[in-house]
Amino acid sequence: MTGFGDRILGLGLLVLAVAYGWAAQQWPEPFGGAEGVGPETFPTILSVVLVAGSLYLMIKPDPDARWPVGKSALELLVSVLVLVVYALLLEPLGFVIATTLAVGTLSWRMGAAPKRAFLTGLGSAVVVFVLFNYGLSLSLPAGLLEVH
Amino acid sequence: METLGFLMEGFAVALTPYNLMFALFGAFVFCLPGLGPANGVAILIPLAFTLGLPPETAMILLTAVYAGAMYGGRISSILLNIPGDEPAMMTCLDGYPMARKGRAADALAVSAIASFSGGLIGTIGLIMLAPVLARFALTFGPAEYFALFLLAFATLGGITGKNPMKTVIAAALGIMISTVGIDISTGTQRYTFGVLELYEGIDFILAIVGLFAISELLFFVEHRMGEGREKMQVGKLSLSLKELVTTIPTQLRGGILGFISGVLPGAGASLGSFISYTLEKQVVGKKGRFGEGALVPMLTLGVPGSGTTAVLLAMLISLNITPGPLMFTQNADIVWGVIAALLIGNVLLLVLNIPLVGFFVRLLSVPPMYLLPIVTMVAFVGIYSISHSTFDLYFMIAFGIAGYFLRKLEIPLVPIILGLLLGPEMEKNLGHALVLSDGDWSILWGSPLAIGLWTVAGLGLVLPYLVGPLLRRRMNAAIKESPVSD
């Protein structure tokens, strides 16, 4: 079936729009009564617009895009995972170690030689760390490397 | 005459060696590609306070950072297709294809000059208009502002995508994101789900960095695995004086248009660059220069009132000055100091830009497999140093993933960002209008000015739908005819 992507998106947006609009109707009347507009007025309008838009998408979808399959889908998942793990480890491991690992892994997966990739990671991590902590005095977490 | 006197005082402040030093520092450091003006300024505002800089020095530093970062943003827009901030998004549309044709150096040089003339026109306009501004702003009521915002979204339809309905969806999504948080006028918690981090709403910087930088990384990963990516040929600077001269009318139009939309509070940044981009596309398109990767569209970066107003606002708010028509009388000294700083910043940047084009181009010939991870890391650093919370980082990644899927499905990202930025103002103006009219909705189209804006907005949304297919057919034909094709 063509237009599969748009139909799925339309369905998702329709659910979102209805939930968004419904939630707006549940808010308590603001203190002092409604003066022209309440907190729900604007969201209600938006919800109606999005319902119309999502229905249109489902009725008249555009042709499908080419979705990644196999290896490139896997590489995409790996990249997202690296980003999430980077955010997760930034504070416990400290900026320099976490960045070396994250930048290194990313550029290695993008096709750089592993050694050069991780050296790039280390180099950029140290430069940015020094620049921010000493140059701009905005502290990035030192983590394991913290001097007590 | 009084105006000139103020300006001279502003210059005296801005030109002291101490302040000049900060200006140079700011302009240089934040030229680094990938660190957009929004990030640059956001990082620097806290810094200016921690260092205890006097207000005028702080302002000059921020102005220089802003100008430097704008240039940096253009570099990454042109060479990597990552816009540094929202006015620079337009740069991607034409700068990137130009760079792919090996004319990156030209694109950078033109963008430097365009932004100089744009900035200059904007600043001169501000100086001339300042006294009139107060009176003019008063004729625009809340209903007119509301219609103006709609117009901003409608103009996007023509340029950002093939399917206007997808523009509408994107704009609605953006505005919806902007409604998260505590409602300013009533204090109601909206869509916060009890999460503390959501009470103050979603920072648009998170969304911009996530939707663009992170999704760009994902796109690169996908395509490298698929068919590989073209190597960027930078090429020599082959821009002749004659070519530059041909862009002057465009720069003038862009500058003036940008300035006009720039002086309308809240409408400034993005609106100006979009409208002038669309206009130029039409004007230039007729002369048949459009298909050849014309230099002209670069002017959009030059839209002055645009980003400049945003920075002005950020600076003013951080200095505890309420922006508005009254500030020209109440805080005249500071306002004129800022204006002088803007002028100096513009001159400084032009002087730095032209000789540095070669340097930046070399900087960016670093292969993307090293550069993109580093840019991503800088994005993490920028977001992390705003609030020192990893929560924001997860949010940014989520925006990145969403951006990837939306781009795949051809939902344009620009209206989302615009919706996020303009949403709160739109709602505020809607509220004010309805309070003024006692809940009568017809006030929204109750004045000739408002009706005019609605009409143009409607046309902007419908016309591309009717004319679009025809135009695209013609463009395809033109591309086939010309020997220089993509």
Quote the minimal CA–CA distance from A147 to chain B in Å.
20
Check CB contact under 8 Å for B163 and A84. Answer: no
pLDDT, position B409: 87
**More confident call, B62 vs A46:** A46
**Token digits for B433?**
């209008």
**More confident call, B355 vs B298:** B355
Using CB atoms within 10 Å of the CB of residue B359, give its burial: 0 to 12 exposed, 13 to 18 middle, 19+ buried.
exposed
Q: Which residues of A54-92 are buried (b: 16+ CB within 10 A; e: fewer)?
A: bebbbeebbeeeeebeeebeebbeebbebbeebbebbbe
**More confident call, B298 vs A78:** A78
Lowest mean pLDDT among A40-49, B167-176, B404-413, B470-479: B470-479
SS3 labels along B408-420? HCCCCCHHHHHHH
SS3 labels along chain A? CCCHHHHHHHHHHHHHHHHHHHHHHCCCCCCCCCECECCCHHHHHHHHHHHHHHHHHHHCCCCCCCCCCHHHHHHHHHHHHHHHHHHHHHHHHCHHHHHHHHHHHHHHHCCCCHHHHHHHHHHHHHHHHHHHHHHCCCCCCCHHHCCC
Out of B50, B186, B222, the one facing A30 most closely (by C-beta) is: B186
Check CB contact under 8 Å for B374 and A110. Answer: no
Q: Could you state, in order of their start, the residue ranges of all structural domains in chain A?
A: 4-59, 70-145
Quote the minimal CA–CA distance from A28 to chain B in Å.
8
Check CB contact under 8 Å for B435 and A37. Answer: yes
CA geometry: angle B465, B469, B470, nearest 5 deg: 115
Q: CB within 8 A of B401, min separation 6: which ones?
A: A80, B214, B215, B218
B25 has pLDDT over 70: no
| Mean pLDDT of the residues in chain B | 64
How many domains are contained in chain B? 1
Check CB contact under 8 Å for B221 and A46. Answer: no
pLDDT tens for B99-155 read 666 666 666 666 666 666 666 666 666 666 555 655 555 666 788 778 877 876 776
3-class secondary-structure state, position B181: strand
Strongest mean pLDDT among B29-43, B268-282, B335-349, B464-478: B335-349
**Token digits for B100?**
């792919």
Check CB contact under 8 Å for A27 and B372. Answer: no
Which residues constitute the domain of residue B447? 2-481
**More confident call, B417 vs B309:** B417
What is the C-alpha separation between B187 and A39, in angstroms, rounded? Answer: 8
Give the Cβ contact number of residue B309 at 10 Å. 25
Chain A: residue nearest B185 by CA?
A: A39
Using CB atoms within 10 Å of the CB of residue B282, give its burial: 0 to 12 exposed, 13 to 18 middle, 19+ buried.
exposed
Check CB contact under 8 Å for B179 and A54. Answer: no
Check CB contact under 8 Å for A75 and B222. Answer: yes
- Chain B contact set for A43 (CB, 8 A): 176, 179, 190
pLDDT, position B139: 65
Q: For residue A54, which of B249, B165, B264, B237 has the smallest C-alpha distance?
A: B165
- Interchain contact A81–B (C-beta under 8 A): no
**More confident call, B179 vs B215:** B179
**More confident call, B361 vs B193:** B193
Check CB contact under 8 Å for B409 and A65. Answer: yes
Using CB atoms within 10 Å of the CB of residue B91, give its burial: 0 to 12 exposed, 13 to 18 middle, 19+ buried.
buried
Chain B: residue nearest A27 by CA?
A: B188
- Chain A contact set for B224 (CB, 8 A): 110-111
Kindly indicate the confidence band of residue A138, based on its pLDDT and cuts at 50, 70 and 90: low
Check CB contact under 8 Å for A42 and B426. Answer: yes
What is the C-alpha separation between B486 and B484, in angstroms, rounded? Answer: 7
Q: Is the residue at B486 inside a domain?
A: no
pLDDT tens for A45-79 read 999 999 999 999 998 888 877 788 778 888 899 99
Q: Is the residue at B398 inside a domain?
A: yes
Cα of B187 vs its chain's centroid, Å: 30
B232 secondary structure, DSSP code:
P
Q: Which helix or strand (DSSP H or E) is residue B189 part of?
A: strand B189-190
Contacts with B, A 100-139, CB within 8 Å: 102-103, 106-107, 109-112, 116-117, 120-121, 124-125, 128, 132, 136-138
pLDDT, position B460: 67
3-class secondary-structure state, position B446: coil
Which percentage of chain A shows pLDDT scores above 70? Answer: 88
Contacts with B, A 2-61, CB within 8 Å: 5-6, 9, 13, 20, 23-24, 27-28, 30-31, 35-39, 41-43, 46, 49-50, 53-54, 56-57
- Chain B contact set for A71 (CB, 8 A): 225
B93 has pLDDT over 90: no
Out of B179, B221, B370, the one facing A43 most closely (by C-beta) is: B179
Kindly indicate the confidence band of residue B1, based on its pLDDT and cuts at 50, 70 and 90: very low
Are residues B431 and A33 in contact, defined by beta-carbon separation less than 8 angstroms? no
Lowest mean pLDDT among A117-131, B78-92, B432-446: B78-92
Tell me the sheet residues that pair with A37.
A35
Quote the minimal CA–CA distance from A112 to chain B in Å.
7
pLDDT, position B223: 74
pLDDT tens for B173-201 read 989 998 888 887 777 888 888 787 788 77
Torsion-angle region of A18 (φ positive above 0: left; ψ -120 to 50: alpha; else: beta): alpha
